[in-house]
Chains A and B, each alone.
Chain A
Amino acid sequence: MIAAGIDMGTQSVKVAILKDGKILSKGKAFCGFKPKDAAEEAFEEALTNSKLSRDEIRHVTATGAGVDLVSHFDSTISMMGADAQAGVYFFPSARTVVDIGAEDARAVSCDERGTMLDFVVNSRCAAGAGTFIEAMARALEVKLEEMGPLSIKAEEATPINASCVIFAESDVVSLIHRQKSKEKIARAIYAALADRVSSMMHRLGIKPEVVLVGGVAEDVGFIAALERTLGMNILIPEDPVFAGAVGAALTASKRIEKVK
């Protein structure tokens, strides 16, 4: 039984193909200005990797902020629902799944079957999502992937006005003029993002284990900052950016079972 999930994010589209509940292959493409083409591209990549043809896929479930832009799918699932499914799939003990994407952040509580119980979302403020780190990497003139390693070199954070991405941008410029270390600035930025995510999680209530997924879950700087803020260990699956797609594919598998 073969099922697929498509996660149409704000920055990239991810596809996961599952066979009998096991991940068979993945595909990813950047949305750019042609998100529909990107969805096709990611799907083709996943098919090629699994050496399958499109006809062999029984059910496709789509999710993500741009779900309306996906042209071929059989059903949809909410982003929160997909997160819950994926979190428990990766770690059966997961009860809270945190998903930090480019432009939004979510925390979802779930039961042992991966059913979503409750959730909180921030999609209104860039200071609570991955965009924040990107903007700060630009301001610091370092590559995005260097930000995390840079931040964990610092023993402490430099005080910075990090409530807003726009304010933080100008603050970073003056901190650089005052010759503050990039490491300490980077650490301050991760601390600020982790604080926002943690206060969002507290609104939901934090039940262990906590699983972190989404693009930002690949960032060592953020992981360290969130663990510090929460005072607990966080579980991170392999390829956390595909969690939404895997969650959607799991949903697709369940829907095939139901029809049987």
Chain B
Amino acid sequence: MEKVQKLEYWRWPEYHRVVPGKDWKNAEIITAGVDVGSVSSKAVIMTDNEVYSWAVLRTGSNSSDSAKKVMGWALEGIGLKLDDFDYIVGTGYGRVNVPMANKAITEIACHAKGANYIWGPTVRTILDVGGQDVKAISCNERGRVTRFLMNDKCAAGTGRGMEVIADLLKIPIDKVGEASLMVDKEPGPVSSTCVVFAKSEAVALLRSGWPKKKVLAAYARAMAIRMSELLQKVGCKEDFVITGGQSKNIGIVTRIEEILGVKRLPVPKWEETGLDPMAAGAIGAALFASALYKKSSNR
């Protein structure tokens, strides 16, 4: 019998990259940041405060296994061992369950630090859209958090919310952003806040004859409104950046920019440099690791 494979449209690509042209053997300080999120796990290896290699994969049912797996992947093929690290910081939802970490730091602090590193000291507001939460963070020129607001109680406006619609419409998650912008006229947002109800509403719209793209646009608009509300509450001062998985969702980014009348700083060429907005939390954690190591060795 032919085996039928169920396509998982919500599943985004996992990846591991090494920044070219570097050798850790010349490095003075080797650190890592491991960000175990509710949906994705990220590990960033840094040598002298520059990204050396990093990996992103889906979090499994066990935080500590996910931490080991993602760190193992970031280490793959570069000849480094865990013993070679001066300091490792764990962060994210599962930060207390990162077995190789010397210390755990909240993902709010790490995202601010990471965004400050990726885009520079002019960043004042960060929207981090995670798998099961969304955070609006204000920070100063040193990447220190001055204020933040978080929604981790409700899927509306989170990465999971987008996965649900990708699955329903059978459009791969990394294509939903573009697809949602392919409408002649932007429809009004779906009226339900709750993802469960918004999904039923989307089904009803499809049945009434709306094309998929239009339904997606209405849904994406509702999600963007939800994220924008959080940003407005914290105050969206420029420079503004977006981190987390949805930073790569052009449909969400465009709508937030339009709703708030603020442009985000563009995503840097992350594939070669390692300045990956998806890994901003892990980058921040690795930077904290380096600062903590310096502090402890100066004593």
Instruction: Name 12 A/B residue pairs within 8 A (Cβ), A-sorted.
Output: A124-B193, A124-B197, A126-B194, A126-B197, A161-B132, A165-B196, A167-B132, A170-B132, A170-B160, A173-B61, A174-B61, A175-B61
Interface size classification for chain A: 20 to 34
Q: Is A178 an interface residue (CB 8 A)?
A: yes
B193: chain A residues within 8 A (beta carbon):
124-125
Q: Please determine whether B154 and A164 come into contact, CB atoms closer than 8 angstroms.
A: yes
Within 8 A of A (CB), among B136-168: 152-155, 160-161, 164
Query: Given the complex of chains A and B, what is the CA–CA distance between A124 and B60 in angstroms?
Result: 30
- Cross-chain contact B164 with A166 (CB below 8 angstroms): yes
Report A163-193 CB contacts with B as 1/0, cut-off 8 Å: 1111100100111011000000000000000
User: Main SS of the interface on chain A?
Assistant: helix
Contacts of B195 in A (CB 8 A): 126, 164-166
By a CB distance below 8 angstroms, the chain B residues around A170 are: 39, 132, 160
The answer for the CA separation of A161 and B158 in the assembled complex, in Å, is 15
* A99: B residues at CB distance < 8 A: none
Cβ-closest chain B residue relative to A125: B194
For the complex, give the distance between the alpha carbons of A33 and B203 in Å.
11
| Inter-chain contact B61/A167, CB cutoff 8 Å | no
**A167 in contact with B196 (CB, 8 Å):** no
Q: Which residues of B contact A135 (CB under 8 A)?
A: 196
Would you call B196 and A166 a contact (CB within 8 A)? yes
Assembly CA distance A175 to B193 (angstroms): 27
A164-B62 in contact (CB<8A) = no
Nearest 3 A/B pairs, CB to CB: A174-B61, A126-B196, A166-B155
Instruction: Determine whether B207 belongs to the interface, using a CB cutoff of 8 Å to chain A.
Output: yes
Interface of B is mostly: loop
Chain A positions within 8 Å of B132 at CB level: 161, 167, 170
Task: Check A163 against B61 for contact (C-beta < 8 Å).
Answer: no
Q: Which residues of A contact B160 (CB under 8 A)?
A: 166-167, 170
What chain A residues lie within 8 Å of B197 (beta carbons)?
103, 124, 126
Q: Determine if A131 is an interface residue (Cβ-Cβ < 8 Å).
A: yes
Q: Which residue of B lies closest to A175 (CB)?
A: B61
Interface residues of B in 169-211 (CB under 8 A from A): 192-197, 207
Residue of B nearest to A170 (CB): B160
Judge whether A163 and B154 touch: CB under 8 Å.
Answer: yes
With both beta carbons as reference points, the residue of chain B lying nearest to A135 in the complex is identified as B196
Q: Which residues of B sit under 8 angstroms from A161, Cβ to Cβ?
A: 132
- Complex interface: chain B residues within 8 A of A174 (CB): 60-62
Most A C-beta atoms less than 10 A away, residue of B154, B193, B195: B154
Q: Is the CB of B207 within 8 A of A33?
A: yes
Beta-carbon contact of B61 and A178 below 8 Å? yes
Is the pair A124, B194 in contact by a Cβ cutoff of 8 Å?
Answer: yes
A253 CB, min distance to chain B CBs, angstroms: 34
B61 touches A131 (CB 8 A): no
CB–CB A166/B161 < 8 A: yes
Contact residues of A between 141 and 166, Cβ < 8 Å to B: 161, 163-166
Chain A: CB-nearest residue to B207: A33
Bound Cα distance A127, B194 (Å)? 9
Among candidates A131, A173, A175, A178, residue contacting B196 with C-beta atoms closer than 8 Å: A131
Contact partner of B155 among A131, A167, A177, A178, CB < 8 A? A167
Question: Which A residues lie within 8 Å of B164 (CB)?
Answer: 166
